[in-house]
Structure 1
């Protein structure tokens, strides 16, 4: 693996805490989770991590397959309204939103228990097509470069988005270094907000 489970948990927990402080929907924040994660991987690990957006599908066990995108005339498609984002780095796929997948499935009406795991798998183990997504941990991602570039251009014009990613990067420290349990940031109204890591449930294993 590129990073340990404990460091993955740290990156996810920081991004999650910052999103909660901004009252963002953590079930629909794949861009922030993964831009934040990619920035940290580049800065702290010197890993050339890049974010892609497009169609994605993950097998979460039993009969639970979570898909992002659409099917048009039998073709797997994505758009700026229907997409998912993930990280590709050194032949690996990493998705820092994966611990939220149980909540996403719950919001779609699936009440079967799904474990909170990290998503970190070799890209060469990806399913050849949707019909090959049969077992827990199987996945399929199809980048759409037009969608990827358009979303990136929009995000790069958002000073708030960039500031929050930088805050996450400054907060993060690799193990065995200690990391602050909380930080203070100034919101858009000049008020000081305290952000804590408490409330983030543990991640058990990986897909």
Structure 2
């Protein structure tokens, strides 16, 4: 099995157009649902890779200390998944891919974690056996929640504005073999014009 389904350059392309749209309309650092939905859409449509957005708790060892970046809710020492504590990533038949990973440094700034700006694309077979086993940089552990996934996706996709933004990401990404446009201009229903530009940040290396 290949280590990666898509190369770093193409991972960054998906990340950048998604972040470029998200940062224009606010909340990029909190937009795991948006990143996951955009990533799954592009993988399915442009790569013919069967991919789905999955919600749940998520842990990733981010440095040699070791420190663990964790998405979830701590209830008396027990980690649970809830509407207040969750993450969403992309899952294929063989891999977990998180297109939000390049902005983990911003996502965890309040927790003072030292998080490198890297690509997160890992084989599911390499997942740690338990949360206690997440102790080397790149180790990860997931607690998927199908019920929460369905609730979150239904709510997200029921909003016409979110569907419009997904279409913008898809259009801006364009065909895989064509050069990436550094910016696009779009109009909204109120008659306002927005200029969207690619973020300067990219993933350097991989977990």
Shift of 1:105: 2.1
The residue correspondences of 1:11-30 to structure 2 (distance < 5 A) are 11-22=14-25, 24-30=26-32
Shift of 1:188: 4.2
Structure 1 distance, partners of 2:41, 2:147, is 21
- Per the alignment, do residues 70 and 83 of structure 1 end up closer, same or farther by CA in structure 2, a change over 3 Å counting? same
Shift of 1:176: 4.3
Q: Does residue 1:103 correspond to 2:106, yes or no?
A: yes
- Aligned 8 A contact 2:72 2:80 in 1: yes
Shift of 1:132: 0.1
- Aligned 8 A contact 1:7 1:174 in 2: no
Structure 2 distance, partners of 1:201, 1:21, is 15
Structure 2 distance, partners of 1:202, 1:150, is 31
The residue correspondences of 1:83-122 to structure 2 (distance < 5 A) are 83-110=86-113, 112=114, 114-122=115-123
What 5-or-longer segments of structure 1 have no aligned partner? none
1:107-136 per-residue CA deviation (whole Å, 9 max, x = no partner) reads: 2233x4x32101000011101111100100
Matched with 2:63 is 61
Q: Does residue 1:50 correspond to 2:52, yes or no?
A: yes
What 5-or-longer segments of structure 2 have no aligned partner? none
- The alignment's TM-score, normalised by the length of structure 2, stands at 0.93
- Aligned 8 A contact 2:71 2:86 in 1: yes
Structure 2 distance, partners of 1:164, 1:188, is 13
Shift of 1:175: 5.0
- The alignment's TM-score, normalised by the length of structure 1, stands at 0.93
